[in-house]
Structure 1
Amino acid sequence: MKLLQATVSLLVFLLACSTSNASVLHDACQSFVAICYKDADYGYCVKFFQANKESATADHRGLAVIGTKIIEATAKSTGSLIATMLTSEKNQEQLRCLVACGKGYLDAMDEIGKAAKGIVSRTDGGVEDAVTALGGALDAPLDCEDGFQKLHKPSPLAAEDGRLRKETSITLFVTWTLLPQTKALRPSPIDHPYRYLNTK
């Protein structure tokens, strides 16, 4: 009987923990949609984190770490795609634009690496550095698209740039929530780079 009671108690405890941690993910995505951008996609946010199984039991810091892992992979994949495009592009203007995009994605991967270190440092200064670094990582897809717009030509990286922009914006928001609850250390979301998010 005691063994049965202990087993039931353990199951109840695990269920409560699972529910609590699951609500962290959903609460984070609900806050992201409510605070960051009127067209932000709650479902996209949830699926973004759920791509990593560890998100089911992660707290806010854990979600931020997961976010950096995912966007690092996204940036790396797009960088490889750009490298492939460079081998076949004949138009000189578009070639220069692709080269700039490639450099931007290399810089983004460096910024994402800095952000990951800042998050796991568990210090206020480290998190502030992470927020700044993720804001810098957002420059890659934004600048890449801007380059093709200036050429008045459709971007061959529109889908990839849009994906990194959305994913980095979500990661930036969750990282931003780790900052202390003071105006001095927590700038208004309106002033943050993820105001550029467009999930349409």
Structure 2
Amino acid sequence: MRPLTYVFFLLLISSTSESSATTLEDTCKSFAAGHPSIGYNYCVKTFHADSASATADARGLAAIAAKIAGATANGTARRIAALCASEEDAGRRERLGVCAEVYSDAVDQLGEAAKDIARGEDKSTRDALTQLSAALDAPGTCEDAFGEADDASPLAAEDAEFRKLATIALGVTALLSPPPSAPGISD
């Protein structure tokens, strides 16, 4: 490779990685502005768990966020199954059953959301937002099942973590959607 070609190649690679890093940083800054309780640093840390984030565009980051949340929901579902298998109290097993159902649904919803995001169409993005919103209900429903029985949830930490990750997925995906047009106004 000639020296000039080599320099151009290095500049191109550097420019691409800086652009992707900027996309990740800008996305997390925008997300954190609306979700200060989760914040910028947690958003960036979340994406660093997937190496594809380093080169992803905004749509790719949204799909990655849905996949990360889906993997967490799946891990929580496995933990719930293990807890159910060893639980002797019927009432507690029933509460865990509620959690198992909502986390199973969340895994499916997040998988569909990731596919919808990848399609890249406005309608698919709206469908993804619906799926992500539904998945975000899982930790609250699970916690409510225990709270209503005045029983300490064995899943409080998992529910809190999943809530953050699902919120990131929903928030980042929402950044892809153009604002709805006002009725009677044409573009």
Shorter-chain TM-score bucket reads: over 0.9
Report how far residue 183 of structure 1 moved.
5.1
Q: What RMSD over aligned residues (CA atoms) do the two structures have, in Å?
A: 1.4
Report how far residue 3 of structure 1 moved.
1.1
Q: Structure 1 residues 88 and 61 mapped into 2: Cα distance closer, same or farther (>3 Å)?
A: same
Instruction: Find the counterpart in structure 1 of residue 2 from structure 2.
Output: 3
Percent identity, aligned pairs only? 43
Deviation string for 1:148-189 (max 9, x for gaps)? 1112222100111111110010011111111124356xxxxx
AA matched with 1:32: F
Question: Which of 105, 108, 111 does residue 110 from structure 1 map onto?
Answer: 108
How far apart, in 2, do the equivalents of 1:42 and 1:157 lie? 25
Please tell me whether the aligned partners of residues 101 and 140 of structure 1 are also in contact (alpha carbons under 8 angstroms).
yes
Extract unaligned runs of 5+ from structure 2.
Answer: 183-187
Aligned-partner SS, 2:2 = helix
Please tell me whether the aligned partners of residues 64 and 114 of structure 2 are also in contact (alpha carbons under 8 angstroms).
no
Matches within 5 A, 1:1-200: 3-35=2-34, 37-182=35-180
How far apart, in 2, do the equivalents of 1:100 and 1:66 lie? 27
Deviation string for 1:74-110 (max 9, x for gaps)? 1111111111101111222211110000000111111
Q: Structure 1 residues 183 and 160 mapped into 2: Cα distance closer, same or farther (>3 Å)?
A: farther
Extract unaligned runs of 5+ from structure 1.
Answer: 185-200
How far apart, in 1, do the equivalents of 2:146 and 2:175 lie? 34
